[in-house]
Amino acid sequence: MEKSMKAYQLEIFGDNYSLVSDESEEHVISAAQLVDKYMKEIADKVTIKNQQRIAVLAAVRIASILLYKEATLEEQRRYIDNMIEVISKELPNNDASMLT
C-alpha cells in the first residue's frame, strides 16, 4: 500500500517551514523538534549567530549520531550472526533452519 503525501507546517529555530512528506505527523514533528533542539543547543554554545552555519553544525551532529547508531547496529548484527553460527554447530543434526 502506497503512503499518501501530507503537507506540514513546522517551526524550526524560529522560522516557519512547509514540508510535504509521506511520514506520519508524529514522525515529522519529532524530526523537526530534534533539529530545533540541536540548533538551539549549538546557538547557545557558540558565538556565531549565522543561522545557516548553526543548521549545518546541527546536521553534522545529527549525522554523527546516525553513523554511531548504524555502526552499533551493524556490530550487533555481526554478533547475532556469530551466535547463530555457534548455536547451529551445537544443534543436533545441525538443524540451523530453526534459527532463521
Per-residue pLDDT tens digits for 51-71:
999 999 999 999 999 999 999
Residue 21 CB partners (closer than 8 Å, separation 6+): 5, 6, 8, 28
Beta bridge pairs of residue 68: none
**In degrees rounded to 5, what are phi and psi of residue 66?**
-60, -45
- Higher pLDDT: 62 or 93? It is 62
> For residue 62, what are the contacts with CB-CB under 8 A and spacing of at least 6?
34, 35, 38
Distance CA 66, CA 78 (A): 18
For residue 97, pLDDT over 60 is answered with no
